[in-house]
A and B are shown apart, each in its own frame.
Chain A
Amino acid sequence: MKTYLPPKFIVERDPERCIQCQVCVDQCSFDTHYYDAEDDEVRSREGSCVGCHRCVLFCPTNALNVRGVPLDYRDNYNWRPEIIEDIVKQAETGGVLLTGMGNDKEYRVYWDHLVLNASQVTNPSIDPLREPMELTTYIGRKPDRVDIDPDSVSIKTELAPQVRIEVPVMFSAMSYGAVSLNVHESLARAATEAQTLWNTGEGGLHPKLYKYGANTIVQVASGRFGVHADYLDAARIVEIKIGQGAKPGIGGHLPGEKVSADVSWTRMIPQGTDALSPAPQHDIYSIEDLAQLVHALKEATNYTKPISVKIAAVHNSAAIASGMVRAGADMIVLDGLRGSTGAAPKIIRDNVGIPIEMALASVDTRLRQEGIRNQASVVIAGGIRNSGDVAKAIALGADAVYIGTAALVALGCCLCQQCHTGKCAWGICTTDLRLTKRINPDIGARRLANLLRGWNLELKEILGGMGVNALESLRGNRLHLRGVGLTDTELEILGVKMAGS
C-alpha cells in the first residue's frame, strides 16, 4: 500500500564536506543513509529518518544536518498534523499505534509554574562551599515517635529497615529487555558511585549485576519475570509494580525478537517468546490482596528490606496511596502523566493519568491528614528534568524522585520516541547486539554519575540559598514554593501560595 505519510525530517548533506566514509550508513539503524556504489555517493531516504541525531553527531566532517520537513497542512486547530498522520497510520495498518518515551502533549508542566525561595537580609543564606549541606535521605517506614531508655540514654525503638541515599534522585525502573544490559550496568555503577539506587524494572536482574545489589531496587511486576529467591535477596528494596505513568492500567509486551538468550535467562522465559505482562497483577484484585503480597515479600526477605509499591498517578491517587500505606508499603511511588516507557499504546500514553505535581501534592496532603505520612517514603517519577524540578518535588512533599528519561538523555537519548521499534540508534532501548555495544558501561556510568553529581551540587546551592542546611527542612515545606500563573484551585491543590502573597 502506498503510504500517505510525508517524511518528518529532511537530511541535509553538504557535498563539499561529505567524504563518502559511510559512518552515517553504519550508524543509522533506521536505514536512512545508503551508499550508492555506482555513483560512489552516500545518499539518504528521508522518509526513514526519525530525527535521532546519531548520524549528525557522528559524521567526522560535520557534513550532516537534520531538520523538520516544512511541508504545511492548511491551518486547523482541531485537525493538527499529528492527528491527521495517526489516522493515516491506522488506515494503513489497522492496529493500535505504539510509541515510546513519555507524553509529549501540551499539558501544563506545573514545575514551570512554581518558583523557589531564597534568603535575603533577615536570615543568612548558607554557602555550600563553606558549610556542611546535607542531602542524606533515608527511605523506609518511620514510627510516630521514639522511646528512649532514660537510664542508659539509648534508643529503645527499633526502626523498620531504612535505606540511605546521598542524593534524593534514583534511577527509575527500566527493564532488561526494554533497555540493554550495558544500560543496566551503567545505571547500576552510577548509582553505586553516587550512593543512590537504581531500579531493575520488571525484567529481572542479570547475574553479572548482582554485585551492585546494595544499590538495587528489584521489581516484582505482573509478569513476575526473573523473580526468585536470589533476586529478592540481592536487592536493597523490593518494589511491587502496579502501574506505570506512561500507560496506567495497561500491561506490557516485550516482543519475542527482543528475548535474546541473555534476556531469556534473566527473565526466566523461553528464548524468542513474547514476554507478556498482564495489565493487573492477577493475584491483586483489591487492596487486601496488595497487603498480602507486601507481607509475603516481607516474609520472603525476612523483614530486612523496605517494600515499595509503585502506581501510575490517576484520579484517585490520594485514596489509593493511603490504602497502599495501610497495606504495609514502606515506600510508595507515584509515576505521573509524563512518565516514559519502552512501548505503550500512543492513545493511552497521551490521554491517561494526571500530572505528577498534582498527584504528589494531594497524596502528601492526604497522608498527613490521616497521620500516616511517616509510615512510608513517597517517591515520584515522570518528567523530572533537572535539579530545580527535584527541589520543587521535595518541597511539595516527596522524599526522593526517580529519573528515567533524564538518565537516558545522559546516555545519549534524543527522545526520538522510537523505543518500541527496538532499533534505538543510540543502543539504549534495544537488545540488538550490534547496537547495544554503542553504550560503553565505563562511559555510560561516568555520564550518569556526572549528572547526579551536578544535580547534587545544584541542590546544595538551592538549599543554601534558602538558608537551610538539611534536605529534611525543605521536604514538604511548601512555604518555600510560590505559584506563578496558576488558578486558585490549582494553588489550593498544590498547597502553595501565589507569588507575591
Chain B
Amino acid sequence: MNDLNKINNPYSEGKVIDACSIFGMMDTAGNCFSGENVIKAIANMHFRGNGLGGGFAIYGLYPQYPAHYAFHVMYLSHEGKAEVESFLKQRFHIEAAEEVPTRATPAIMNPPLVWRYFLEVKHDKCDKNSEDNYVVDRVMEINTDIKDSFVFSSGKNMAVFKGVGYPEDIAEYFCLEQYKGYLWTAHGRFPTNSPGWWGGAHPFNILDWTVVHNGEISSYGINRRYLEGFGYHCTMQTDTEVVAYAIDLLIRRHDLPIEIVAKILAPPFWDDIERSPEREQKLFRTLRQVYGSLLLNGPFTVIIAHRGEMIGLTDRVRLRPLTVGTKGTTLYLSSEESAIRLVCPDLERAWIPVGGEPIVGSLERPLGAKELAVTGEIKPRVN
C-alpha cells in the first residue's frame, strides 16, 4: 500500500499481535538498585513469552551524562552505522560514543550491532524550547530514511536494551546486572505473527518515554492515523508504538498531566461521565470529544515510564492483567503477583486496580510520604 509509511522493519506488515509479561519496579525515593530482582521477576513469567522478544528500560543509569541525549542505535550493517554516524555528526555534538558492551550468550543468535552516543543539540540547530522536538524529528528521520539502522532509545539518563530472545537472555547478553537505576521496566514477548525483529521488541521509546505493553490495541488504525496528523510516523508498525507517541503528544506537546492522559487513553464510559459531578463531567466529556481518536481500545496493560515516573494502566474493562505491589518506597507493577512476591516476599500491599485506573509512582510524591500518590485519582493539587 502506498499510503503506508516508509519502514525500516523488513518483516512486519501490519500491527504486531502479541501477548506478554510485563514488570516494573521503581524506588520512588530515587535510590538506584541493580537489575537483579527485575531480571528474576520477569524470568519467573517465562511462559508468558515465547523467546521472540525481551527488553528492559532503565532510568538513572547514566549519571555521568545526565544532560545528554543518550542514543542507543541498532545497526544491521556497517553501511547503516557509517551513515547514521555522519548524520549525527552533522546534527549534534557527540560527547561520547561507544559500542554497548555485550557478552556471548548461547540463546542470542545473530545479534545486531548496538552503539550508544551521548549527544548535545547544537544551539544553532534550534532554540531551547524545541530541543526535544528536534530530537524527535531526527529519530524519525533515522528510523524512516536510513537503511539498516534503528534508534532503540533517545532519552536523557535512561536507555532501552532489547532484542530477540527471552528477557533473561537479553539481560545476560547486554550485561544488565552491572547497571543500576531507580526505575526499571521489563518485557517478555509472545508475538504471534512476527519472526522477531530486534527493533520490534519492547520497550518502545521516544525521548525518555518508554512503554512496555501486553495486549492488542484494536483501535490501532485510528490511533495511528490521528498521530500521523501530528507528525508521528509509526515506523515499527506495532500497536505499542502508538502508546509511546500518544504519551509524548499529550504530555510533552499538549502539556497534560499524566492523570488526565490516563483518562484519554482509557476514558470513563459516557454513562459514567454523565453521572459525575459537573466539573469532572465537563472535563471528561471534553477529553473524549477532542481525543476520542486516542482512546486505546482492546485488551492492554501498559507500563509507561519517563524521568521520575512510572505509570501502570489497563484498558477500561481490564482485559489484560495488572497487579500492583508496594513495600516501603518501592512500587511494583506486574502481569502476575507471583513475580512480585518472588522478589519481595514481604510485600506490604498488593492489589489489582480497576480497569482504566492509572497507578502512578513518582519521585515527586514518594511512597510512604503520601499513600495517595500511588493511585491516579484526579484531585486538584494542594500546595
Contacts and interface: CB of A to CB of B under 8 A. Distances in A.
Chains A and B bind each other: yes
Contacts of B253: 145
A151 B222 contact: no
Cβ-closest 5 pairs across A and B: A479-B221, A472-B292, A473-B219, A473-B297, A477-B221
A492 B3 CA distance: 7
Given A152-B380, A467-B298, A368 B293 contact: no
A492 B2 CA distance: 7
A250 B50 CA distance: 63
26 contacts: A119-B218, A123-B17, A124-B319, A132-B269, A145-B290, A146-B287, A147-B255, A151-B381, A153-B380, A154-B283, A159-B286, A368-B228, A466-B218, A472-B295, A473-B219, A475-B292, A476-B293, A477-B221, A477-B222, A477-B225, A480-B218, A491-B1, A492-B3, A495-B3, A497-B14, A501-B13
A123 B216 contact: yes
A138 B299 CA distance: 25
Interface string A454-474: 000000000000111110111
Interface in A5-58: none
B7 to A, nearest CB: 15
Nearest to B288: A472
B271 interface: yes
Given A153-B260, A162-B289, A467-B298, A473 B2 contact: no
Interface in A121-178: 122-124, 126, 131-132, 134, 136, 138, 142-143, 145-148, 150-155, 157, 159, 162
A478 interface: yes
Contact of B218 (A143, A155, A468, A497): A468
A154 B279 contact: yes
Contact of A475 (B222, B228, B271, B316): B222
A371 interface: yes
B352 interface: no
A368 B297 contact: no
A146 B254 contact: yes
Interface string B289-311: 11111010111000000000000
Nearest to A135: B270
B15 interface: yes
A469 B297 contact: yes
Contact of B379 (A142, A146, A153, A469): A153
A468 B286 contact: no
B381 to A, nearest CB: 6
A373 interface: yes
Nearest to B319: A124
B19 interface: yes
B221 A480 contact: yes
B354 interface: no
Given A479-B221, A492-B3, A155 B379 contact: no
Interface of A: 119, 122-124, 126, 131-132, 134, 136, 138, 142-143, 145-148, 150-155, 157, 159, 162, 365, 368, 371, 373-374, 466-470, 472-480, 491-492, 495, 497, 501
A-side interface mostly: loop
A451 to B, nearest CB: 23
Contacts, number: 138
A371 B225 CA distance: 11
A150 B221 contact: no
A155 B257 contact: no
B362 to A, nearest CB: 15
A279 B380 CA distance: 56
B317 A469 contact: yes
B10 interface: no
Nearest to A132: B269
Interface in B60-109: none
A374 B290 contact: yes
Nearest to A395: B221
A143 B290 contact: yes
Contacts of A132: 269, 271, 317
Nearest to B192: A122
Nearest to B299: A123
Nearest to A471: B292
A314 B193 CA distance: 41
Interface in B1-56: 1-3, 13-15, 17-19
Given A146-B286, A162-B289, 18 more contacts: A122-B216, A123-B298, A138-B289, A142-B290, A151-B381, A152-B279, A153-B257, A155-B282, A159-B290, A368-B229, A467-B297, A468-B298, A472-B295, A474-B219, A477-B225, A492-B3, A495-B1, A497-B14
